[in-house]
Amino acid sequence: MYWSKEWQTAIEAMVLGSYGPIVRVIFIINGEDQLVEAFSNRPIGEAAERALGLSHNTGRPPEEWEIRTEAGTLVPPECVPPEIIHHPRYFLSLRVGVGGQAHRDRLNWQFFGSR
């Protein structure tokens, strides 16, 4: 079987542990818990994107969702939170204002011309 260079590198990294230990993270999406496994030293946005896919919340791009801790603190998706091992619960929700006036203007232009 032939493996591409990217796959070989990824498999070697996983086997050799360069991605760090795997932790279980719970994302609460629309009131439902979604458990995903993630590498502890990778950006939390990767795990959040996986949780959105597993929960079938794929109607909006991941950039329109925000990640918050149980205390309500906003966590940037590129962040690698050190507390992920000890506090693996995060809330995923659509950003406030997503689908707001700019979205309506774009839809009006698409469907009704430039009125």
Q: What is the pLDDT of residues 27-61, one digit of tens each?
A: 999 999 999 988 888 889 999 999 999 999 988 99
In 3D space, the residue among 110, 30, 41, 29 whose CA is nearest the CA of residue 79 turns out to be: 41
User: What is the predicted pLDDT for the residue at 53?
Assistant: 94
6, pLDDT greater than 90: no
> 78-109: per-residue pLDDT in tens?
988 777 767 689 999 998 765 544 455 554 54
Residue 14 is inside which H or E element, if any?
helix 5-16
Backbone φ/ψ region at 17: left (φ over 0), alpha (ψ -120 to 50), beta: left
* Per-residue pLDDT at 66 exceeds 90: yes
Spell out the domain ranges in the chain: 17-112
The confidence score (pLDDT) of residue 95 equals: 87
Q: Is residue 45 within 8 Å of residue 37, measured between CB atoms?
A: no
Question: What is the SS3 assignment for 8?
Answer: helix
Is it the case that residue 112 has pLDDT exceeding 60?
no
CATH code of the domain made up of 17-112: 3.10.20.90
> Residue-wise over 38-68: b if at least 16 C-beta within 10 A, else e?
bbbeebbbbbbbbbbeebebeeeebeebbbe
